[in-house]
């Protein structure tokens, strides 16, 4: 029966309408939800006819047809707090609402001599903020940004420690700052750009970051909101069932579906472990699941997807649908696409197979990560999501390549795969950061981070530091290598004799000596960057060498990209960017 014939029947009588609907739409989301649309009073017959026509066309009834995501934005949380440990570079803040707010918080915590502490030149009032990513869970960490207020007389936050701050959403109502519920807490050593010195660097010296210094105290909900014209209890329940037939996770030792129909318009979603570092992709896959589908319709759709996966223009969308199906037939179509001569087709197929934990994806993704920058960020995230020793070995092989971002990207991916693996577990440096020494081939390299979490990664055997040299390693820490074959690391404290360590001119010994004397992660980073400037560091030193999105890509068969003169042509992948490499909120 054609759609025109069905719509003709719709106009004959109410009884015939109901019977025809039951017969025709048995593979859709149900008679009540599609035609009567509960919860939408006042819809006339013309509106219902339009809705029926929309939902009985040839396109599959994917969940994305009826819903839009909820909780996929970044939530900004803020606070006012105090930085201590400055070397006379702070100020006594003026009598502003910000000072009053901070004083109220100090009194709430019953801090003695609050006025004297705030007036000290070794402290500074600061504005604190962080961004809660989509799907963040209670206990997860996030980066914190710290800066002094406008017109503050504080000249530098170098060497400072951010005191505990409660982070909330802030809003200005009635000329007053209103706080919401506490969503996170923050504390830790402030990392200031070591190159920010002198008057030119003063604006940069008065702001910094606390890597991983934020701690979420509540899990952020996320889900799918059913569009107004479709919302119904029946459809909500059907979406829950369709998702839970495909995805589940273990909670308290029991298998539980990831979806829960909360109302007629909201289906709440728990993040599946395999997609914890790629929540955007997870939602796209969920929206690529069908609401209901007969076996015959499934076979017809698989035939269509089998053609679409081989076309680079449709391969991305087709791969997501096949990943959403996730059965043996879908895997087989993805496996066939791996044989394509087109790089883009092979990549999309391999990416989906990786999230289906298929070993067949590993070789192609590793090759793409090594040789195609446009796909690197997604390829590494996909490899890290696998529970496969072959994927681990492929990432391990990338630790020795020449490209700094590929090496560190592989390390970050391995850490996400299993942070407790002996190869990458690292050494806890008095709780300040972790030190990782990787026994790998390739050019010696040192990597430090300015995001995500405080860590230093030593790639390969590190050559000794060149002498002579003199390094300023943060507040009160001095490294003297001006004579002899050893280094003297000294920590100076007001009124006390200097505490000293004598070490060999080795990078790992220098790091441990600074930490042993009470130095923080920012102190060590500053020492390494000073050593690089003086030519004492013989290894490559890189900061946040992360795989980048928006890279140029020339499709197979295309000519060279046209040079616009000012803007580089970017390539938009058909799949979302992963969160693994610190995607920033706009």
Kindly give the residue spans of alpha helices, DSSP state H, lying in 168-253.
202-205, 233-246
Give the pLDDT score at 518. 87
Give the pLDDT score at 20. 37
Give the pLDDT score at 557. 58
Mean local confidence (pLDDT), 546-573: 57
Strands (E), 375-504: 427-429, 433-438, 445-448, 455-459, 469-472, 477-481, 487-491, 499-503
Give the pLDDT score at 472. 84
Give me the count of residues in the chain. 586
Position 584 confidence tier, pLDDT thresholds 50, 70, 90: low
Q: Is the pLDDT of residue 35 over 60?
A: no
Give the pLDDT score at 149. 94
Give the Cα separation of 473 and 526 in Å (integer). Answer: 6
Higher pLDDT, 35 or 570: 570
Give the Cα separation of 126 and 184 in Å (integer). Answer: 17
Q: Are 446 and 537 in contact (CB under 8 A)?
A: yes
Mean local confidence (pLDDT), 83-105: 91
Tens of pLDDT along 326-357?
999 999 999 999 999 999 999 999 999 999 99
Give the pLDDT score at 312. 93
Give the pLDDT score at 205. 87
Query: How far is C-alpha 391 from the geometric centre of its chain's CA atoms?
Result: 21
Give the pLDDT score at 337. 98
Higher pLDDT, 32 or 431: 431
Tell me the chain's radius of gyration from C-alpha atoms: 29
Higher pLDDT, 284 or 52: 284
- Strand order from edge to edge, sheet including 477-481: 469-472, 477-481, 487-491, 499-503
Residue found under tokens 């472990």: 273
Q: Is the pLDDT of residue 123 over 60?
A: yes
Q: Is the pLDDT of residue 22 over 50?
A: no
Average pLDDT value over all residues in the chain: 84
Among 190-204, 258-272, 480-494, which is the least confidently predicted range?
190-204
Give the pLDDT score at 572. 62
Contact partners, residue 483, CB within 8 Å, separation at least 6: 468
Position 249 confidence tier, pLDDT thresholds 50, 70, 90: confident
Q: Are 227 and 235 in contact (CB under 8 A)?
A: no
Higher pLDDT, 432 or 59: 432
Tens of pLDDT along 154-204?
999 988 999 999 999 977 666 566 778 999 999 999 998 765 444 444 567
């Amino acid at each position: 029966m054609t759609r025109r014939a069905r719509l003709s029947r719709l106009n004959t009588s109410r009884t015939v309408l109901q019977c025809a609907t039951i017969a025709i739409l048995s593979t859709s989301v149900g008679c009540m939800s599609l035609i009567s649309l509960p919860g939408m009073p006042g819809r006339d017959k013309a509106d219902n006819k339009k809705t029926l026509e929309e939902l009985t066309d040839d396109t599959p009834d994917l969940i994305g047809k009826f819903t839009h995501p909820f909780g996929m934005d970044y939530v900004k949380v803020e606070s006012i707090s105090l930085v201590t440990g400055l070397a006379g570079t702070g100020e006594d803040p003026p009598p502003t609402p910000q000072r009053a707010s901070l004083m109220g918080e100090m009194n709430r915590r019953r801090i003695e001599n609050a006025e004297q502490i705030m007036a000290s030149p070794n402290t500074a009032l600061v504005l604190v903020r962080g961004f809660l990513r989509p799907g963040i869970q209670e206990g997860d960490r996030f980066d914190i940004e710290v800066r002094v207020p406008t017109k503050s007389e504080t000249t530098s936050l170098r060497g400072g420690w951010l005191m505990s701050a409660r982070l909330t959403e802030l809003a200005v109502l009635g000329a007053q700052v209103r706080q919401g519920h506490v969503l996170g807490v923050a504390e830790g050593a402030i990392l200031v750009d070591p190159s920010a010195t002198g008057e030119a660097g003063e604006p940069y010296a008065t702001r910094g970051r606390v890597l991983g210094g934020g701690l979420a105290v509540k899990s952020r909900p996320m889900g799918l909101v059913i569009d107004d014209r479709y919302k119904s209890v029946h459809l909500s329940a059907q979406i829950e069932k369709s998702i839970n037939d495909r995805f589940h996770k273990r909670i308290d030792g029991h298998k539980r579906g990831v979806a829960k129909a909360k109302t007629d318009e909201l289906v709440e979603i728990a993040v599946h472990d395999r997609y914890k570092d790629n929540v955007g992709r997870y939602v796209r896959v969920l929206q690529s699941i069908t609401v209901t589908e007969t076996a015959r319709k499934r076979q017809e759709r698989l035939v269509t997807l089998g053609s679409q996966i081989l076309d680079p223009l449709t391969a991305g969308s087709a791969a997501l649908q096949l990943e959403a199906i996730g059965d043996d037939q879908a895997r087989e179509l993805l496996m066939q696409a791996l044989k394509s001569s087109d790089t883009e087709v092979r990549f999309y197929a391999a990416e989906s197979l990786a999230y289906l934990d298929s070993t067949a994806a590993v070789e192609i993704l590793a090759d793409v990560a090594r040789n195609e920058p446009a796909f690197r960020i997604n390829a590494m995230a996909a490899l890290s999501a696998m529970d496969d020793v072959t994927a681990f070995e492929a990432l391990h092989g990338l630790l020795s390549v020449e490209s700094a971002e590929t090496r560190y990207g592989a390390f970050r991916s391995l850490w996400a795969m299993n942070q407790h693996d002996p190869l990458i577990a690292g050494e806890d440096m008095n709780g300040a950061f972790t030190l990782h020494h990787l026994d790998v081939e390739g050019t010696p390299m040192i990597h430090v981070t300015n995001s995500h979490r405080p860590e230093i990664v030593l790639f390969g055997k590190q050559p000794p530091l060149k002498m002579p040299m003199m390094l300023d390693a943060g507040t009160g820490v001095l490294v003297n290598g001006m004579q002899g074959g050893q280094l003297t690391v000294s920590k100076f404290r007001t009124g006390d004799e200097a505490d000293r360590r004598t070490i060999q001119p080795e990078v790992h010994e220098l790091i441990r000596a600074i930490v042993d004397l009470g130095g923080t992660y920012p102190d060590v980073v500053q020492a390494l960057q000073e050593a690089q400037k003086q030519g004492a560091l013989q290894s490559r030193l890189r900061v946040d060498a992360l795989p980048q999105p928006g890279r140029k890509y020339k499709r197979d068969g295309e000519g060279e990209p046209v040079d616009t003169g000012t803007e580089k042509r970017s390539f938009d992948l058909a799949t979302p960017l992963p969160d693994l490499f610190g995607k920033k909120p706009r």
